[in-house]
């Protein structure tokens, strides 16, 4: 029976014979001894392999193969302070399963090279840690929604209209017609709430982003929720709970990985509700007082959000944006129709927007007027307009960029490290 390496890194296994399997992470020979650092999905361990124990043939074969060769080993665990994980295996026997020669990732760790070889770089301890954090984040999102009465639903990926503006639509040929890749499942989630009232989905969204920033992908993972009868504040409250749940799970399950990534945990450990709430106009004033060059009416771009959020140590909900800089579906504030009842959630520490959401227009005449103002043809959105014809209700929703959330929680320098296969304006492989 094989153990995972993390199981045997313990005093309870000292003196016990174990069977391990994995890949050569490091290898060096000193005379009649070869030191192998073996890795598996859980951790690494030093293995001391002596020629006299495994025999000349196997020793010679082991000496020839390179890093990332796959191995099974048998041996006895002993404590060794100088070993990378404090224990080592006194090897009795090995079995080389799959040799690897000249594994391409050695000294050259340049960004582009590692992106070109992401299919192999996934094996690194850095990516292993990030993938585990990502796993915990996805699981926590499902857990939160399901524990709070949300039904999981699925919208289509082939669609015929924009949600977040036509400039970032990916057009795909569709049997002689035009289709687009979904920018957001929102409009479809709005159809579900008339049946299930509270729905969510986690799916890829596509944005033909020409901007090359630390936080933009052309394909990203999007967790979206929609709730019947909710107003803007109700939705923000659920989102606060969601983020707190995810942060708590990541701290509980992934402290080891966060520490390996040298993530400063203070802000995450000190996170508490309620998050900061600022109206857009207050945020603009704050930004101007802090020397950030921005005027009322400007959209907050990556640079502005980075500069602003570096000054905060908890997430900030920014609400009541001017109607001109938000998509047509946002509900104008009845008390001041020049602004809309929306919110963005900006992550602190310079990370910026991780959530966009708000209250939807639910009155037919208001929606038709806004579509006309935006030059949209209601016919193109006939099914979306129908929702306002047949038993319309106030409702709100949001979209969380899961890759951006992982990027913030793991304290990474660029979103491309937060997703296994990043897609950007210049990259569509591997
Ligand atoms: N159901 C909804 O109400 C969602 C709404 N229709 C929507 O798509 N809002 S959003 O455009 O701000 O995108 C939502 C989030 O999606 C993320 N996002 C948005 N665009 C990107 C790109 N290009 N790359 C990575 N992540 C991205 C980011 O965190 C945004 O806050
Ligand atoms: Mg947004």
Between the CA of 197 and the centroid of ligand 2 the distance, in Å, is 24
Q: Is the pLDDT of residue 108 over 80?
A: no
d(CA 39, CA 23): 5
Index of the ligand 1 atom closest to the CA of residue 189: 1
Q: For the chain, give the number of residues.
A: 430
Domain termination residue (choose one: 57, 72, 98):
98
d(CA 407, CA 412): 5
* pLDDT (tens digit per residue) in 55-69: 999 999 999 999 999
Residues contacting residue 106 through CB under 8 Å, at least 6 positions apart = 67
* pLDDT (tens digit per residue) in 11-68: 999 999 999 999 999 999 999 999 999 999 999 999 999 999 999 999 999 999 999 9
Phi, psi of 372, deg, nearest 5: -65, -45
Mean pLDDT of the chain: 97
- The verdict on residue 430 lying in a domain is no
Atom 12 of ligand 1: nearest residue by CA position: 356
pLDDT confidence tier of residue 304, bands split at 50, 70 and 90: very high
Does an H or E element contain 116, and which? Answer: helix 111-116
* pLDDT (tens digit per residue) in 156-169: 999 999 999 999 99
Atom 27 of ligand 1: nearest residue by CA position: 401
For position 106, what pLDDT does the model report? Answer: 84
d(CA 153, CA 199): 6
- The verdict on residue 299 lying in a domain is yes
Between the CA of 405 and the centroid of ligand 1 the distance, in Å, is 11
Residues contacting residue 281 through CB under 8 Å, at least 6 positions apart = 296, 320
For position 109, what pLDDT does the model report? Answer: 84
Query: Do 252 and 169 share a structural domain?
Result: yes
- The verdict on residue 175 lying in a domain is yes
Mean pLDDT for 58-81 is: 98
Evaluate the CA torsion angle 171, 172, 178, 180 in order and state its sign.
negative
* pLDDT (tens digit per residue) in 343-371: 999 999 999 999 999 999 999 999 999 99
Q: Is the pLDDT of residue 217 over 80?
A: yes
* Pocket test residue of 159, 191, 401 for ligand 1, highest count of atoms within 8 A of CB: 401
The lowest-confidence range among 8-12, 40-44, 104-108, 391-395 is 104-108
* pLDDT (tens digit per residue) in 317-332: 999 999 999 999 999 9
Query: Do 296 and 148 share a structural domain?
Result: yes
Q: Is the pLDDT of residue 248 over 80?
A: yes
Query: Do 124 and 23 share a structural domain?
Result: no
Query: Do 49 and 168 share a structural domain?
Result: no
Phi, psi of 239, deg, nearest 5: -65, -40
Token readout for 367 is: 């929606």
- The verdict on residue 110 lying in a domain is no
Q: Which of 213, 153, 217, 73 is nearest to 397 (CA)?
A: 153
Index of the ligand 1 atom closest to the CA of residue 345: 31
* Pocket test residue of 208, 399, 418 for ligand 1, highest count of atoms within 8 A of CB: 399
Query: Do 139 and 92 share a structural domain?
Result: no
H helices present in 148-221, as ranges: 186-196
d(CA 19, CA 40): 12
Domain that holds residue 11: 5-98
Phi, psi of 206, deg, nearest 5: -125, 130
Q: Is the pLDDT of residue 406 over 90?
A: yes
- The verdict on residue 107 lying in a domain is no
pLDDT confidence tier of residue 107, bands split at 50, 70 and 90: confident
Domain termination residue (choose one: 69, 98, 127):
98
- The verdict on residue 375 lying in a domain is yes
Protein residues whose CB sits closer than 6 Å to any atom of ligand 1: 163-164, 184, 186, 207, 209, 216-217, 220, 222, 224, 353-357, 397-399, 401, 403-404
Between the CA of 344 and the centroid of ligand 2 the distance, in Å, is 6
CATH number at residue 194: 3.30.930.10
- The verdict on residue 429 lying in a domain is no
DSSP state of 168: G
Between the CA of 133 and the centroid of ligand 1 the distance, in Å, is 21
Q: Is the pLDDT of residue 219 over 80?
A: yes
Q: Is the pLDDT of residue 6 over 90?
A: yes
Query: Do 350 and 270 share a structural domain?
Result: yes
Query: Do 130 and 14 share a structural domain?
Result: no
Pairing of strands 219-228, 276-279: unpaired
DSSP state of 413: S
CATH number at residue 16: 2.40.50.140
Residues contacting residue 126 through CB under 8 Å, at least 6 positions apart = 260, 261, 417
Mean pLDDT for 250-258 is: 98
Between the CA of 400 and the centroid of ligand 1 the distance, in Å, is 6
What percent of the chain is predicted at pLDDT more than 70?
100
Please say whether the beta carbons of 176 and 162 come within 8 A: no
Query: Do 378 and 336 share a structural domain?
Result: yes
Query: Do 88 and 144 share a structural domain?
Result: no
Q: Which of 71, 75, 78 is nearest to 91 (CA)?
A: 75
ipTM score assigned to the predicted complex? 1.00
pLDDT: is 212 or 253 the higher one? Answer: 253
d(CA 231, CA 359): 6
The total of structural domains in the chain comes to: 2
Query: Do 407 and 286 share a structural domain?
Result: yes
Query: Do 402 and 288 share a structural domain?
Result: yes
- The verdict on residue 44 lying in a domain is yes
Query: Do 335 and 295 share a structural domain?
Result: yes
């Amino acid at each position: 029976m094989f153990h995972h390496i993390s199981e045997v890194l313990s005093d309870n296994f000292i003196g016990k014979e174990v069977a391990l399997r994995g890949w050569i992470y490091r290898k060096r020979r000193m005379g009649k001894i070869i030191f192998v650092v073996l890795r598996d999905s859980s951790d690494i361990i030093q293995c001391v392999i002596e020629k006299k124990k495994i025999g000349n043939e196997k020793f010679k074969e082991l000496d020839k193969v390179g890093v990332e060769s796959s191995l099974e080993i048998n041996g006895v665990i002993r404590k060794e302070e100088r070993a990378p994980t404090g224990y080592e295996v006194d090897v009795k026997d090995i079995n080389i399963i799959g040799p690897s020669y000249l594994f391409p990732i050695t000294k050259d760790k340049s960004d582009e090279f590692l992106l070109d070889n992401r299919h192999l770089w996934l094996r690194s301890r850095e990516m292993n840690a990030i993938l585990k954090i990502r796993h915990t984040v996805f699981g926590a999102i499902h857990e939160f929604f399901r524990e709070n009465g949300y039904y999981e639903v699925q919208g289509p990926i082939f669609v015929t209209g924009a949600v977040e503006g036509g400039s970032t639509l990916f057009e795909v040929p569709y049997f002689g017609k035009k289709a687009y890749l979904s920018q957001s499942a929102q409009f479809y989630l709005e159809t579900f709430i008339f049946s299930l009232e509270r729905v969510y989905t986690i799916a890829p969204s596509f944005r033909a982003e020409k901007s090359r920033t630390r936080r933009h992908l052309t394909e990203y993972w999007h967790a979206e929720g929609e709730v019947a009868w909710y107003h803007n504040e109700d939705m923000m409250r659920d989102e606060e709970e969601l983020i707190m749940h995810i942060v708590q799970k990541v701290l509980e399950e992934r402290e080891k990985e966060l520490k390996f990534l040298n993530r400063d945990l203070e802000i995450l450990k000190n996170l508490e509700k309620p998050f900061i709430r600022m109206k857009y106009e207050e945020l603009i004033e704050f930004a101007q007082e802090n020397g950030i060059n921005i005027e009322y009416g400007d959209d907050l771009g990556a640079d502005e959000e980075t500069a602003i959020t570096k000054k905060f140590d908890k997430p900030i909900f920014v609400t009541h944006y001017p109607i001109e800089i938000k998509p047509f579906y946002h509900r104008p504030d009845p008390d001041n129709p020049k602004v809309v009842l929306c919110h963005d959630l900006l992550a602190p520490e310079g990370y910026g927007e991780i959530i966009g959401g708000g209250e939807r227009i639910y009155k037919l005449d208001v929606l038709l007027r806004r579509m006309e103002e935006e030059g949209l043809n209601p016919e193109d959105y006939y099914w979306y307009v129908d929702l306002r014809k047949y038993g319309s209700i106030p409702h709100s929703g949001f979209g969380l960029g899961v890759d951006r959330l992982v990027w913030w929680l793991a304290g990474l320098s660029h979103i491309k490290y937060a997703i296994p296969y990043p897609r950007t304006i210049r990259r569509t492989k591997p």
